[in-house]
Amino acid sequence: MRKKTKIAVVGIGLMGSQHLKAIKNSKKAVLHSIVDINEKSRVHAKKFKVPFYKNSSALIKHNKPDAVIVATPNQFHEKHTISFLNAKIPVLLEKPISSNIEKAKKIISSSKKNKTNLLIGYHRRHNAIATKVKNKIIEGKLGKIVSVNVMCWLYKNKEWFKEKWRIKKGGGPLGINLVHDIDLICYLLGPVVYVQAFSSNKIRKYKVEDTAIVNFIFKSGVLGTLSVSDTIVSPWSYELTAGENPAYPVTDQSAYYIGGTKSSIQFPNYKEWFNKNERSWWKKIYHQDASTRDSRYTLVNQIDHLCDVVEGKAKPKVTGNDGLQSLKIFAAIIKSSKTGKKIKV
Ligand SMILES: NC(=O)c1ccc[n+]([C@@H]2O[C@H](COP(=O)([O-])OP(=O)(O)OC[C@H]3O[C@@H](n4cnc5c(N)ncnc54)[C@H](O)[C@@H]3O)[C@@H](O)[C@H]2O)c1
């Protein structure tokens, strides 16, 4: 029988606790230990009957795991990830790779220098529906892709903003939510070459944006638009439509619309739209549907993938360079949002 991969989780906040559940539900992994600066997280270590450490050096010194998940706030990603890579421990690092491009490059070089795998936690690439859409595109079922339209509208309550880093630079919906969408559209449609963005903090009035719209030009020539806000009550975001995370009550809506010359697809509530014979706006348009049932396994799929990478059975599906690319697009979006000008990525 295959030996289970022992995984430590660093930072047991909103995301770290999701990873604890995913490890529990994975057949390939077992929780090794928990690291958190906050004594409150000791309760999780007790619950899972694993050791608790107050910092990563204590873990590295006393009890090396097979892999770690770094789920600390963005500003600590570089420090924590590099300390594990230097100890030759593979890291699944939560998104975004870092809050800054130079730091992201240092993380990537450390992975190269130490010949130790680095995976970035853009978990949507592990979603069964995203895989189905990717395959449809590769098989040419949509014809030539013309355009993509992404919605990310949601409402974050007061509780969310008690963590002060969430109201500072990088902690807003562009950094927290949109980066997932950027990664997913790049995964599905290839690299982005230009962006143009407008952002606003008009509703919440924090230093960070609450709303933004972005235009994209992809290398392939595809044109895209994306709209994000954390102050709109609406069902049209990936979180509220994928059913991946039980924390978000799921709806039957979609958030992504990809249009091709033969058909178009909406998802996560998957529907592929097409004409049966002649393509025409005068003819009836049909749709084929697929269930989002398997979406709830997305985080477990990501853990299983981490185990496969540790065992040398797979290469990282989301690399440090993918994380860097998303960050560059993000930086171009922020730059453009200050002037409204089109920026090369
Ligand atoms: N993949 C996703 O969908 C997703 C969703 C939410 C957050 N995230 C990412 O996960 C990371 C954490 O976000 P969150 O919302 O869970 O944050 P959070 O504030 O809820 O939790 C962070 C945890 O890290 C701990 N911590 C802080 N400094 C530490 C240190 N020096 N050493 C050890 N532990 C430390 C805190 O005590 C806390 O328990 C961020 O990078 C965020 O972007 C990803």
User: Which long-range contacts does 265-269 make (Cβ < 8 Å, 24+ apart)?
Assistant: 265/133, 265/136, 265/142, 267/129, 267/130, 267/133, 268/127, 268/129, 268/238, 268/241, 268/242, 268/243, 268/292, 268/295, 269/241
Confidence (pLDDT) at 165: 82
**Rounded CA gap, 302 and 276, in Å?**
37
Pocket test for ligand 1, best of 34, 36, 99 (most atoms within 8 A of CB): 36
**Rounded CA gap, 221 and 199, in Å?**
24
Confidence (pLDDT) at 76: 95
What is the SS3 assignment for 16? Answer: helix
**Rounded CA gap, 337 and 213, in Å?**
9
CA 71 / ligand 1 centre spacing (Å): 5
Could you tell me the domains of the chain?
Answer: 5-120 (3.40.50.720), 125-296+327-344 (3.30.360.10)
What atom in ligand 1 is closest to the CA of residue 12?
Answer: 39
What atom in ligand 1 is closest to the CA of residue 35?
Answer: 33
CA 257 / ligand 1 centre spacing (Å): 30
Give the residues of the chain that fall short of pLDDT 70: 1
> What are 200-255's pLDDT values in tens digits?
999 999 999 999 999 999 999 999 999 999 999 999 999 899 888 888 888 999 99
> What are 152-195's pLDDT values in tens digits?
999 999 999 998 888 887 788 987 888 899 999 999 999 999 99
Q: pTM of the entire structure?
A: 0.92
What atom in ligand 1 is closest to the CA of residue 179?
Answer: 43
**Do 85 and 116 meet the contact criterion of CB atoms below 8 Å apart?**
yes
Give the E-state strand segments of the chain in sequence order.
Answer: 5-10, 29-35, 52-53, 67-70, 91-93, 118-120, 145-153, 192-200, 211-218, 223-229, 254-260, 264-268, 271-274, 286-289, 343-344
CA 142 / ligand 1 centre spacing (Å): 38
Confidence (pLDDT) at 1: 65
* C-alpha dist (Å) from residue 103 to 48, 186, 253, 257, 316: 33, 22, 37, 33, 20
DSSP state of 293: G
DSSP state of 220: T
Confidence (pLDDT) at 295: 79
Q: Which amino acid is at 298?
A: T
Around ligand 1, the residues with Cβ closer than 6 Å are 10-16, 35-38, 41, 55, 71-74, 76, 94-95, 121, 123, 163, 176
